[in-house]
Structure 1
Amino acid sequence: MGTRFVFLGPPGAGKGTQAALISQALGVPAIATGGIFRDAIARGTQIGKQIGQFVNSGMLVPDKLTNAIVAERLKQKDCKKGFILDGYPRSLTQAKALDTYLLKVRSPIDRVLYFKVEAPVVIERMGKRRVCSQCAATYNLVSQSPKTEGLCDKCGGALVTRSDDTPEAIRKRLTVYEQTTKPLLDDYGKKNILDVVNASASVEAVARQVQGLCLGTS
Structure 2
Amino acid sequence: MRLILLGAPGAGKGTQAEMLTELFHIPIISTGNMFRAHLSQGTELGIKAKTYMDEGKLVPDELTIEIVKDRIVKDDCKNGIIFDGFPRTIAQAQALDDLLKELDITLDKVIDVEVPDEEIVTRMSGRTVCSGCGTPYHNQFKIEKVKGSCDNCNSELVQRDDDKEETVKKRLKIYHEQTQPLIDYYNAQGKLVEIDGIGSVSSINLRVKKALGVE
Range class of TM-score, shorter chain: 0.7 to 0.9
Unaligned runs of 5+ in 1: 152-157
CA distance in 2, matches of 1:92, 1:150: 46
Contact 1:99/1:108 (8 A) holds in 2: no
Q: How does 1:83-122 map to 2 (within 5 A)?
A: 83-122=81-120
- The whole-number CA distance in structure 2 between the counterparts of 1:132 and 1:37 is 27
Deviations 1:158-187 (A, max 9, x none): 985321422222122212211212332111
| Amino acid across the alignment from 1:20 | E
User: How many residue pairs align between the two structures?
Assistant: 205
Match of 1:55 in 2: 53
Give the Å deviation of 1:128: 4.5
Partner of 2:63: 65
2:182 maps to: 184
> Could you tell me how far apart the structure 1 residues matched to 2:187 and 2:63 are?
27
Separation in structure 1 between the aligned mates of residue 36 and residue 105 of structure 2, nearest angstrom? 26
1:70 & 1:150 partners in 2: Cα distance?
42
Aligned-residue Cα RMSD (Å) equals: 2.8
* 1:193-204 to 2 correspondences below 5 Å: 193-204=191-202
Q: Distance in 1 between matches of 2:159 and 2:75?
A: 36
Q: Distance in 2 between matches of 1:100 and 1:68?
A: 12
Report which of the two structures shows the higher radius of gyration computed on alpha carbons. Answer: 2
Secondary structure of residue in 2 paired with 1:112: strand
Matched residue SS, 2:46: helix
Residues 43 and 100 from structure 1, CA distance in 2 versus in 1: closer, same or farther, beyond 3 angstroms? Answer: same
The alpha-carbon distance between structure 1 residues 30 and 169, as it changes in their structure 2 partners (threshold 3 A), is same
Q: Name which of 35, 38, 51 aligns with 1:37.
A: 35
* 1:136-147 correspondence runs (5 A): none
Partner residue in 1 for 2:146: none
Distance 1:62 1:159, change over 3 A: farther
Partner of 1:78: 76
Flag the 1:199–1:105 CA change in 2: closer, same or farther, 3 A.
Answer: same
Match of 1:4 in 2: 2
Which amino acid is 2:203 matched to?
A
The one-letter amino acid of 1:98's match is L
Using structure 1 for the length normalisation, give the TM-score.
0.83
